[in-house]
């Protein structure tokens, strides 16, 4: 039996922008629902001085790539990671963390979750 490869192409401009109250926005470009793959790829924008609360992804590893801005990723049991464009941070599943934009400009990040969030 032959396995068929599924190729997916997504347009960032056609991806809905979801507001994150008092923080910024996120676009979930690749999800299990729209790709059939077991990963999520999101592009998030965190406004200057904004952050989100401590949380953990109990069943997902998270990889974050910083495109723009500077901030601090607070990671329980590890400490604070000051980030800038071009850096990546990998957070294993179950590890509590939160992200804080410490600059005067938007922080723009790509996050990849495996397995998928949605």
pLDDT score of 6: 80
Strand order across the 97-101 sheet: 79-83, 71-75, 97-101
Distance CA 8, CA 103 (A): 35
For 57, list phi and psi in degrees, rounded to 5.
Answer: -100, 100
Q: What is the pLDDT of residues 7-59, one digit of tens each?
A: 999 999 999 999 998 899 999 999 999 999 999 999 999 999 999 889 999 99
Task: Please tell me the predicted confidence (pLDDT) of residue 5.
Answer: 74
pTM of the model: 0.89
Q: Give Cα separations from 67 to 34, 35, 80, 108 (angstroms).
A: 24, 24, 19, 5
Report H helices in 1-118. 32-35
Q: How far apart are CA 91 and CA 74, in angstroms?
A: 11
Q: Where are the domains of the chain?
A: 40-114
Q: Considering the chain, what is the average pLDDT of its residues?
A: 94
Topology (CATH) of 40-114: Jelly Rolls (2.60.120)
């Amino acid at each position: 039996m032959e396995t068929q490869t599924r190729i997916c192409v997504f347009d960032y401009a056609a991806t809905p922008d979801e507001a994150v109250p008092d923080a910024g926005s996120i676009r979930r470009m690749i999800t299990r629902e729209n790709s059939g793959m077991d990963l999520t790829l999101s592009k998030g924008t965190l406004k200057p001085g904004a952050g989100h609360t401590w949380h953990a992804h109990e069943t997902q590893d998270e990889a974050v790539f910083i495109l723009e801005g500077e901030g601090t990723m607070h990671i329980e049991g590890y400490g604070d990671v000051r980030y800038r464009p071009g850096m990546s941070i990998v957070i294993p599943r179950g590890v509590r963390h939160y992200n804080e934009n410490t600059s005067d400009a938007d922080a723009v990040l790509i996050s990849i979750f495996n397995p998928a969030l949605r």
